[in-house]
């Protein structure tokens, strides 16, 4: 296989929109669900840093707290979307008496992946510091979708890792960035093999991670499913409590609407 053919094959393998049934309809539907939720249940908009994308939308349940908190990181291949894209996911968590936060982070090409990981850690640290004042009980859980799953996991690995996270919920994640090097996906990221490995959870020591729930859809790209399965095997071998939850009849985008099917 020539270089151009190899790059084209990797671009197809790691382009979820090419495998999904109708990704534009899914994103539009989710945006509308989020808008309706914000209208009837307005979140608190909080800043954790000085940048325009260093903030979060915090949804609190009705009644008296304190509540546990699920913080979620959106996808978009580190260069698209924002916290509003995952606001709609607050509904099932609120229904179970949890608070829910959609976290913004700076995007490429204006920010490096390293800066995004640092921002996610900064946002989580701010929530921990302000937990009592926000009506939270200090029990923090972290989740992410696609690129957001990579950021959530990298936030809990290596030097400066987050501590005290009770669980990680990772949906349709990408955990090895090396196949992206040289593709159109990489153009705003500027990765080389060394940085891609350093930013890939599958290239890290996974010992000491909080319990993991790994989810992928039946219709996710095979490369994404394979990376999730590889992460499951690596985490299990490292002594991490881990569950692998494939969901039937879901693609990379509409899987976000199937939280009720996940184990608690």
Q: Cβ(193)–Cβ(234) under 8 Å?
A: no
What is the band of 42 on the pLDDT scale with cuts at 50, 70, 90? very high
Q: Does pLDDT of 262 surpass 90?
A: no
Q: Does pLDDT of 263 surpass 60?
A: no
pLDDT mean across residues, the chain: 96
The confidence score (pLDDT) of residue 4 equals: 78
Cis preceding-peptide flag for 181 (omega within 30 of 0): no
The confidence score (pLDDT) of residue 1 equals: 62
Q: What is the DSSP letter of 111?
A: S
The confidence score (pLDDT) of residue 63 equals: 86
Q: Cβ(27)–Cβ(96) under 8 Å?
A: no
The confidence score (pLDDT) of residue 90 equals: 97
Q: Is 226 exposed, middle or buried (0-12, 13-18, 19+ CB in 10 A)?
A: middle
User: What does the pLDDT look like over 63-104, one tens digit per residue?
Assistant: 888 999 999 999 999 999 999 999 999 999 999 999 999 999
Cα 193 to Cα 66, 143, 179, 182, 196: the distances in Å are: 45, 26, 9, 10, 5
For each of the domains in the chain, give its residue range(s) and CATH number, in order of start.
3-261 (3.40.50.1820)
Q: Nearest CA to 127 among 30, 233, 200, 54?
A: 54
Whole-angstrom Cα distance, residue 41 to residue 122? 26
The owner of tokens 């808008």 is 35
What is the band of 166 on the pLDDT scale with cuts at 50, 70, 90? very high
Six-digit token string for 258: 């199937």
The confidence score (pLDDT) of residue 264 equals: 56
Percent of the chain with pLDDT over 70: 97
What is the band of 159 on the pLDDT scale with cuts at 50, 70, 90? very high
Q: What is the DSSP letter of 108?
A: T
The phi, psi pair for 68, rounded to 5°, reads -70, 160
Q: Give the mean model confidence (pLDDT) for residues 119-144.
A: 97
Q: Give the mean model confidence (pLDDT) for residues 129-133.
A: 96
The confidence score (pLDDT) of residue 241 equals: 98
């Amino acid at each position: 296989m020539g270089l151009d053919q190899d790059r084209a094959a990797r671009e197809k393998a790691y382009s979820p929109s090419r495998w999904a049934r109708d990704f534009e309809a899914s994103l539009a539907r989710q945006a509308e669900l989020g808008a309706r939720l914000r209208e009837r249940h307005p979140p608190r908009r909080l800043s954790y840093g000085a940048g325009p994308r260093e903030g979060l939308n915090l949804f609190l349940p009705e009644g008296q707290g304190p509540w546990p908190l699920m913080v979620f990181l959106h996808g978009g291949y580190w260069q698209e979307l924002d916290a509003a894209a995952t606001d709609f996911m607050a509904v099932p968590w609120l229904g179970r008496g949890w608070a829910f936060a959609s976290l913004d982070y700076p995007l490429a090409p204006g920010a490096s992946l390293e800066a995004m990981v640092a921002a996610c850690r900064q946002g989580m640290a701010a929530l921990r510091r302000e937990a009592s004042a926000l009506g939270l009980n200090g029990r923090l859980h972290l989740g992410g979708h696609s690129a957001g799953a990579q950021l959530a996991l990298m936030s809990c690995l290596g030097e400066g890792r987050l501590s005290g996270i009770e669980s990680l919920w990772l949906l349709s994640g990408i955990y090895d960035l090396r196949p992206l090097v040289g593709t159109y996906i990489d153009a705003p990221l500027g990765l080389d093999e060394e940085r891609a490995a350093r930013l890939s959870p599958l290239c890290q020591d996974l010992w000491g991670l909080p319990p993991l729930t790994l989810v992928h859809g039946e219709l996710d790209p095979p490369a994404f499913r394979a990376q999730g399965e590889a992460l499951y095997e690596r985490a299990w071998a490292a002594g991490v409590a881990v569950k692998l939850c494939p969901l039937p009849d879901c693609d990379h985008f509409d899987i976000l609407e199937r939280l009720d099917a996940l184990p608690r």
